[in-house]
Amino acid sequence: MSDETNTGTGTPAGPQPEPLRFFGTTWIDHDGGYTGRRIGVAAGSLATAVAACFVLRFAYQGLAIADVGTPVTLMVVVMFAVCSALAFRHTWDAFTKRPDPDRQASLRGLLAIGFIGSLLAYSLRSLTEAPGEKLHREEYEAARDQYTRRTTRRTGNPSRKRNHR
């Protein structure tokens, strides 16, 4: 990173990295407890997914006690399974490319129902990197490269070039 700073603010000149949830900007240099945070996020999201499964189990038992019938019970189980699978895939894809905001808004209900899939995707991705790190790193490095190319000064005056004939 450049040693130049914006005047008066003390922040480095150029684009600034976007902080990630639970990681801030520690993903840049993998410092500030980055590994511990990854372990904590992986364990925390997995534990939350397991707890959510227990809650869903109680809901299933409630359906059994209410004797709503096999078709309704089966429909609820399939709905949660399908929504969880779709939420897992959507969340996993969002770690490598920015999701379309309109599509994200239209899938909000499905993602809420399939929250267990999202938690599992978050947990699995945390085993290899901070969720979304690869995407943010690519965007940040591209912005830094563009900034460097834009601000690099040329030496000499191009209009004073000698014609070599």
Rounded average pLDDT per 10-residue block, the chain, 165 residues: 52 84 90 92 96 93 91 93 96 91 91 95 94 92 90 69 63
pLDDT at 139: 92
Instruction: List the end-to-end C-alpha distance of the chain, in Å, as a whole number.
Output: 43
pTM: 0.79
Predicted confidence at residue 149, as pLDDT, reads 86
**CA pair distance 89, 110, nearest whole angstrom:** 12
Do residues 14 and 2 make contact, with C-beta atoms less than 8 angstroms apart?
yes
Question: What confidence score (pLDDT) does residue 160 get?
Answer: 67
pLDDT at residue 2, rounded to an integer: 45
State the DSSP string of 77-114. HHHHHHHHHHHHHHHHHHTTSPPPHHHHHHTHHHHHHT
CA atoms within 13 A on the CB side of 10: 0
Output the CA angle 63-64-70, nearest 5 degrees. 90
Q: Are 95 and 27 in contact (CB under 8 A)?
A: no
